[in-house]
Amino acid sequence: MARPESSSRPWLWIGGAILAAGLLVLGGFWVYAIVRAEDIPLLLRVALLALPVGLAVFLAAALRDRIIQKKQEDFLEVDN
């Protein structure tokens, strides 16, 4: 995978921050709607709220492993 140009790196951070903010707001409304809904059984509420939490834990673990692996990569014999 090619590295992004250094001039585009701030735009990637800005785009990621906007995306994260939007997802947090949308997720907040979703959690509020699930918690406040009276016609949804308690067990289903817990399950619906546990799904994104579990997904976030898996994503964080994958990112952490990738960062650790990236530090350990050694490409001494690569021909360019």
For 5-57, the DSSP string reads: PTTTHHHHHHHHHHHHHHHHHHHHHHHHHHHH-SSS-HHHHHHHHHHHHHHHH
pLDDT tens digits along 21-36? 999 999 999 999 998 9
Q: Is residue 77 part of a domain?
A: no
**In this structure, is residue 42 part of a structural domain?**
yes
Residue 73's pLDDT band (cuts 50, 70, 90): confident
Report if residue 39 sits inside a domain. Answer: yes
Structurally, how many domains does the chain consist of? 1
- Distant-in-sequence, close-in-space partners of 49: CB < 8 Å, separation ≥ 6: 31, 34, 35
Q: Return the percentage of the chain with pLDDT > 90, whole number.
A: 57
Is 79 inside a domain boundary?
no
pLDDT above 90 (res 6): no
By residue range, what is the domain housing residue 28? 9-72
Q: Once rounded to an integer, what is the mean pLDDT over residues 10-23? A: 93
Mean pLDDT of 41-51: 92
Q: Report if residue 44 sits inside a domain.
A: yes
Across the range 52-80, mean pLDDT stands at: 84
The answer to whether position 14 is within a domain reads yes
Is residue 15 one of the residues assigned to a domain? yes
